[in-house]
Structure 1
Amino acid sequence: MLKYTFQHVPSVGEKLEKHLWRNGILQWEDYLNSYEKIKLPYNIHRNMEIFLNKSIDALNNNDVLFFERFLPAKELWRIYSEFMNNCVFLDIETAGKNGRQDFISTISMYNGKNIKTYVKGINLDAFPRDIEKYSLIITYNGKLFDIPFILHTFKHLHLKSAHIDLRPILQRLHLKGGLKAIEKIVGIRRPKFLRKIDGYHAILLWEKYQKGDSRALDGLILYNQEDASNLHFLMHYAYNKLIALFPLPTEKLPLPQKPQLIKVDPSVYFEIRNPHHR
């Protein structure tokens, strides 16, 4: 979809982009090779000439930040198919119940092949090094929660990745609410023992782990890994729904299968949900 995109060019909005498509200017090279087919004001034509050549160079050099810088935020999803081979789906869990005293307990990252979880007190310090490998980060509500929390925790981390937040993209498709509710609507099914577990229970799992129960850490990691890995399906689902809205010869992405996640003892979830059960 990115090569069909013109809205990152200054002075080109949704209306002009559609006008270009209707007149057979579908991709960047179409304009550069046949711009005489459509008459534009000189300043817009000059912007097109400059930015489309820059776009070709940026794509050839895997410069995803160029597109993040100039694309409207609501259209950033268009970069996904070109950069998905170097992207990561990310989700954090936090612990603490005192607002500013909250801290990251775990971070899970899934690159479409392998999933890795970073745990406070074990390997969390390795996260800044590993996140730098990726040119694109995908989250759900990450602009407001995950990324600010990460930058607050790792004060010397300077992210050089573009960031797609799925929350506003899914809202555009009339999918609103929490991540779990949206998963259910689109057909993602979590294990039965996880379906009533939420962020509050994640805090309880961390506290239980801190008291010496290793099952609780595994339970927290699985919850975190479910959140991160399910973003992969949601990104492909949203991308396919959005490209279907355009009269363009774009190809749908295959809906991914869920990866193998950590094995857990499900009884730990029952215990945190029923603390007084004997």
Structure 2
Amino acid sequence: MGVAARSPGVAVLRSGHSAPHAAGRRGAPVITASFRHIGGIGPLRERQLWLSGVRSWAEVPAEGDILSPRLDEKLRAGVAASVRRLAERDLEFFGRALPQTEHWRLLPQVIEEAAFLDIEAAGDKVTVAGVLDADGLASFRGDLSRFLERSRRWRALVTFNGTIFDVPILRRALPGWEPPAVHVDLRHVYQRLRDKGGLKQLEVRVGFFRPPHLASLCGADAVALWHAQREGDPAALRRLVEYNLYDVFHLRPLAELGYNRLLQRTRMPAGPMPVSDRGAMLYDVSRAVAAACP
């Protein structure tokens, strides 16, 4: 493990991850048990398929009645296209075809190529952007050109409330930037699980705790810390970056937990994902903060 060479406005921590294709193999049954991306197949039809014994693409019979003559033709054509797209790893196809509220189903396929993202902002100004991706943990501020360059490698985005906060602000700050087609918004995931509230409240409910000097901070405090560091308080910058990176590194285990809980709730015929060891990532946060605030 080592801290990448620093340049103005960005600090990166590189650390090991599991092999990218291991997660994809483990999660293959998840997407192949999905039919919601096929035209005419809604949640009730999909469940009807599962209950009738058609629990994956491979179990769609080549002939005979399934749902109805009109839908059966769409279903078989959609499954054939899906098999081809998955073999090509065209995850963008599934991101566009699935309702965004169902993008969580793609998590096993994309998790090692995803960016777990959280920003702090004052109005439309991005004050700090934190990212955890295949290259490690990074904190960006000021010039976001390096953030933009790094984002081109992402195949998915995982956020908490990013649909209405992080992504719109980044679009305004970076004209021409577009997020990946696959976007798992954990606020939607946990609302579906009837676990409402903000990220900090959710962390407490699942047993994730922050150090005392960060535990009481909220978004308004992040804005105040930004103004304090602009006035020359280096401790304020360090605290702001650390606060943001805690948001970021909690997103991965929260995504995995939410995914597993949704599998149980929906009774989708697929296996759970392993949950990342939060304790193993705490040292990464400390190193990343030190790199961002020398």
* 2:236 is the alignment partner of 1:216: yes
* 2:81 is the alignment partner of 1:61: no
| Distance (Å, rounded) in 1 between the aligned partners of 2:166 and 2:150 | 16
Q: More displaced, 4-13 or 251-260?
A: 251-260
Could you tell me which residue of structure 2 aligns to residue 134 of structure 1? 154
Q: Secondary structure at the match of 1:67?
A: helix
Return the structure number with greater relative CO, CA threshold 8 A, min gap 6: 2
Superposed CA RMSD in Å reads 1.9
* Paired residues for 1:13-162 under 5 Å: 13-31=42-60, 34-36=61-63, 38-95=65-122, 99=123, 102-111=124-133, 114-120=136-142, 123-162=143-182
- Equivalent position to 1:207, from 218, 223, 227: 227
Alpha-carbon displacement from aligned partner over 1:221-260 (angstroms, at most 9, x marks no partner): 1111111111111111110001113445522112212312
Q: Secondary structure at the match of 1:134?
A: coil
Question: Would the alpha carbon gap of residues 249 and 164 (structure 1) be closer, same or farther in structure 2, given more than 3 Å must change?
Answer: closer
Matched-pair contact (CA < 8 Å) for 2:257–2:275: yes
Q: Secondary structure at the match of 1:26?
A: coil
Match of 1:15, as an amino acid? L
* Paired residues for 1:179-258 under 5 Å: 179-258=199-278
Matched-pair contact (CA < 8 Å) for 2:113–2:134: no
Q: More displaced, 68-77 or 191-200?
A: 68-77
| Distance (Å, rounded) in 2 between the aligned partners of 1:50 and 1:107 | 42
Match of 1:147, as an amino acid? V
Structure of higher CA gyration radius: 1
Matched-pair contact (CA < 8 Å) for 2:117–2:248: yes
| Distance (Å, rounded) in 1 between the aligned partners of 2:191 and 2:233 | 39
Match of 2:167, as an amino acid? I
| Distance (Å, rounded) in 1 between the aligned partners of 2:59 and 2:194 | 33
**Aligned-pair distance for 1:214?**
2.1
| Distance (Å, rounded) in 2 between the aligned partners of 1:161 and 1:44 | 26
Q: Secondary structure at the match of 2:41?
A: coil
**Aligned-pair distance for 1:169?**
1.2
Alpha-carbon displacement from aligned partner over 1:1-39 (angstroms, at most 9, x marks no partner): 2110111111112222122112221111211xx243643
Alpha-carbon displacement from aligned partner over 1:185-222 (angstroms, at most 9, x marks no partner): 11111112110011111112111211222222121111
Percent of paired sites with the same residue: 29
**Aligned-pair distance for 1:117?**
0.8
| Distance (Å, rounded) in 2 between the aligned partners of 1:93 and 1:142 | 11
* 2:261 is the alignment partner of 1:261: no
Structure 2 unaligned residues grouped into runs of 5+: 1-29
Could you tell me which residue of structure 2 aligns to residue 175 of structure 1? 195
| Distance (Å, rounded) in 2 between the aligned partners of 1:179 and 1:49 | 41
Aligned length: 256
Structure 1 unaligned residues grouped into runs of 5+: 266-278
Matched-pair contact (CA < 8 Å) for 1:135–1:161: yes
